[in-house]
Chain A
C-alpha cells in the first residue's frame, strides 16, 4: 500500500537522522571532554602539526574543545541542530586538511583527535573516520532532513518558505 510505504520511508529517514545525530554528538563529546580537562596535552598536539605559531596553539586549544562541545550538544538536543551540523562539518574539513598536510610532510605524530584520552596517529585511518563523520553531518544538513526531534520541546517544523521554527510535539 503506497501510504504505508511513504510512512515507512519517512520513518526510516527520521531514524537515520536520529542515529546520525547520536553518533556524531557522541564522538564529538567524547573528543571534547578530555581536551577540556587536559588543555596542555591538546595544545602540544596542535603545535606538533607545525602549521600555526606555537603562541597560537595554546589559545586555540582553549577554545576549540568548547566549540566542539556546544556543537555536539546542539546535535544531541536537537536545538540548532543544523547549525551544529554545519559547525561540526567545518571542523571536520579543517581536521582532514591538517592530517593530510602532516602526512604529506612526513610528520609522525598523534593526531590529537581525542586529547589525552586515546592515541590516534595521523594516517588514512583518521582521515577515513573524519570523512565518515562528515558524510553523516552532510546527511543532517540535507533540506529533506530539516525536521527532527528535539530533546525537551517537540520537533522543528518547516515553514512554507523553507526556514525552520519551533513546533509542538504531535
Chain B
C-alpha cells in the first residue's frame, strides 16, 4: 500500500479511537493557568523574551558587565533585593533616562520581580529596555521568591546607585 495511504489509515484509526474515548469519557477540560501565575509573559507580549535561571544568574553576580534591575516598587525593593540591583519600579510604566544610562553600560541586564504581584512587571521592564536599545535583557526565572528560596545573596535598604 502506498505510504501516504498507510499514514492516512493509521491517523484515521487514531481519530476514531480518540472520538470513541470522547464519547465514553467526555471532552477533558483544559484551563490554562492565569497569565501571571508562573512568571510567564502574557500571550499578547510582543518581542522576544529570554530567560535566565537563578543558578546561572548567581554565577554572573560578580561580573561588572552584568546589571540586575528590580521591577518591583521601592518598598518591596528596600525589604530585600538582589545584591547590587538597581530599582526600576514599573508603577509609571517608564524608565528614566538617568537609569537607562546606567543600564546601557551593561553587557547584559537581568530583570526580576515578585511572582505574587504578577510577573508582568519584569517582562514589561524587559520590553521597555529593549525598546530603548539595550540588546541583551533577560528575565530571572522564578523572580525574587526563587532567589530567596535558594538562599542566594541579597541585601535590604534603599537603592544606593539609583539617581
Contacts and interface: CB of A to CB of B under 8 A. Distances in A.
12 contacts: A36-B21, A48-B33, A62-B27, A63-B18, A64-B14, A64-B18, A67-B14, A74-B6, A80-B6, A83-B3, A108-B38, A108-B141
Interface stretch (B46-54, B55-63, B65-73, B86-94): B46-54
Interface residues of A, number: 42
Contacts, number: 128
Contacts of B45: 105-106
Nearest first, the 5 closest Cβ-Cβ pairs linking A and B are A83-B6, A106-B49, A63-B18, A67-B14, A43-B30
Interface string A87-109: 10010000000000000111111
A46 B30 contact: yes
A105 B22 contact: no
B21 A58 contact: no
A70 B14 contact: yes
A68 interface: yes
B133 interface: no
A106 B14 contact: no
A83 B17 CA distance: 18
Contacts of B10: 67, 70-71, 74, 80, 83-84, 87
Q: Which of B3, B33, B48 has the most CB of A within 10 A?
A: B3
A22 interface: no
Centre residue among A36, A54, A67, A83 by max chain B CB count within 10 A: A83
B98 to A, nearest CB: 28
B15 A82 contact: no
Contact of A82 (B6, B38, B139): B6
B15 to A, nearest CB: 6
A44 B1 contact: no
B43 interface: yes
A50 B29 CA distance: 15
Interface in B69-124: 123
A14 B6 CA distance: 21
Interface string A42-83: 111011101000100111011111111111001000001011
Contacts of B28: 39-40, 42-43, 58, 61-62
